[in-house]
Structure 1
Amino acid sequence: MRRFPLILGASLLAACSSADHLGKAPSFSEPMASREHSAMVYPGLPQTVEHRTFITESSLWRADSKSLLGDRRALQKGDIMTVVIEIDDKAEISNTTSRSREGSDNMSVPDLFGVPQRIGKSWPDGSGPEKAVDLSSKSKSKGDGSVRRKEKLTLRVAATVVEVLPNGVLAIEGTQEVRVNFEMRELLVNGYVRPEDISRQNEITYDKIASARISYGGRGQISDMQQPRYGRQILEAILPF
């Protein structure tokens, strides 16, 4: 009975997540509350103060990234880059284990100064000390397991530099949401990249992102139908058998 309020509260809390698209399409996440928006609005204080003159401002060849031959890669907080995700992994593992063991022990006392014969007179019919102990055991186990996995994913998403670490490494974060009818497709990526790994096209592949976290999924009515009900999930978590 003590667990009933906890179970009821967990069920109501889990049900609130699906109430967003109850009878309507899923709602988009608020972009103004994301870390990307904060990085663009508050780029931080500059490390050095840049002094510009009238000649620099009016020159046809600017020294910043907006010039014709300037470096257009994302290097500062609030800059945007393109993350290329091309995953084509395949793994196959197969294990087989077999073990067999058999043992037998037999101990008998046929003669011991006539003691077994005298004791045997008081034993029930069909039993005697000829076979005092007779033990046998046999065990056999066999295990067979295999894992086969294949994943292929090709995506491109724009990510924002949300922080520049003291060692120059860039912390990036990117989100993308596409709604089709009543289903929302979500793509999330974040991690740490080195500025020298960013290509001249301002792109970086996922295998050059340290601590990469990539999530590709969705939410909506179709996704809800593919998941077990909340009550079943709670029962499977608390039932010991």
Structure 2
Amino acid sequence: MTRIFRNLATLALVSTALAACGTADRLAQIGQEPPLSAIQDPTTQIGYQPVQMPMPTPTLAQYSPNSLWQSGRRTFFDDQRAGQIGDLVTVLVSITDTAAIANSTERARNGSQSMGASGAVGSLLNKVLPSGSEASAAIDLSGTGSSSGSGTVNRSETLSTRVSAVVTQVLPNGNLVIEGRQEVRVNFEVRELIVAGVVRPQDIAANNTIPSEKIAEARISYGGRGQITDVQQPRYGQQVLDIVLPF
């Protein structure tokens, strides 16, 4: 128990120190708009990892004499759609999710157990047992348990927007790894949109756009930071208690 309390105290001190640093930064920004992030190379960001996926057996390009066609090419003429590292592609984000789930469970259980002794053993036990007790009914156990639960989920989400993404990697089979980030500041609130995933060059339209449903391993995040988001979050003390308290 002492070790548990010591660990909780350490966690509280660390959380308080981190919160103090964050509080000082926020106090220094009173009356100012939330700063926008600097434009940076996505591959240099903390946590970035190159994508690795199963690839087909590579084939060597073959050229035929007196022919303009190169084996392995998918088209005869090149176009201006994204296809190399650093190219831009516009992602048409369109998400419409609706889910309705209802569950209900009930459970009940009854049990009883009795045990006694008679004869010579019972006579000996009667001498040992407290007055008013009989060895013939030495043990009489019973138990009753019941539980019930119900849950309902009714969710509806709609998101429709556009964001330009950068090709950060070309996989050996020709698929493109893209990542895009967009920040919009309105008054004292910054809205952030992040899109990442793997796309096929064939799915990119002639106007260099691709719908979000054709992005494999899609990672789409839409959120914000600022005064409105700040008041919607519990205070850091409450968040620490929610993590530490077992009840």
When the two structures are superposed, what TM-score results if normalisation uses the length of structure 2? 0.72
Give the secondary structure class of the aligned counterpart of 1:223.
helix
- Identify the residue that residue 95 of structure 1 maps to in structure 2: 103
Deviations 1:121-150 (A, max 9, x none): 786553333423222221112222222222
- Identify the residue that residue 202 of structure 1 maps to in structure 2: 208
The partner residue of 1:10 within 12, 18, 34 is 18
Once residues 125 and 181 of structure 2 are traced to their aligned partners in structure 1, the CA distance between those partners, rounded to angstroms, is: 88
Distance of aligned partners of 1:21 and 1:154 in 2 relative to their CA distance in 1, 3 Å threshold: farther
Which moved further from structure 2: 216-225 or 124-133? Answer: 124-133
Once residues 20 and 198 of structure 1 are traced to their aligned partners in structure 2, the CA distance between those partners, rounded to angstroms, is: 45
> Cα distance, 1:2 vs. partner?
4.2
| Aligned amino acid, residue 224 of structure 2 | G
After TM superposition, the structure 1 = structure 2 runs for residues 167-206 of structure 1, keeping only pairs within 5 Å, are 167-206=173-212
Deviations 1:154-189 (A, max 9, x none): 111111222222321212121211111111111111
Contact 1:14 1:230 in 2 (8 A): no
> Cα distance, 1:214 vs. partner?
0.9
Deviations 1:93-131 (A, max 9, x none): 22222221112233444x526x75686578655333342
Confirm or deny that 1:23 pairs with 2:31.
yes
After TM superposition, the structure 1 = structure 2 runs for residues 77-226 of structure 1, keeping only pairs within 5 Å, are 77-109=85-117, 112=119, 116=122, 120=126, 125-226=131-232
Which consecutive unaligned segments of at least 5 residues does structure 2 have? 1-8, 44-76
Confirm or deny that 1:35 pairs with 2:42.
yes
Count of residues in correspondence between the two structures: 207
The runs of at least 4 aligned residues of structure 1 exceeding 6 Å deviation read: none
Once residues 28 and 213 of structure 1 are traced to their aligned partners in structure 2, the CA distance between those partners, rounded to angstroms, is: 21
- Identify the residue that residue 240 of structure 2 maps to in structure 1: 234
> Cα distance, 1:223 vs. partner?
0.8
Give the secondary structure class of the aligned counterpart of 2:217.
strand
| Larger of the two Rg values belongs to structure | 1
- Identify the residue that residue 47 of structure 2 maps to in structure 1: none
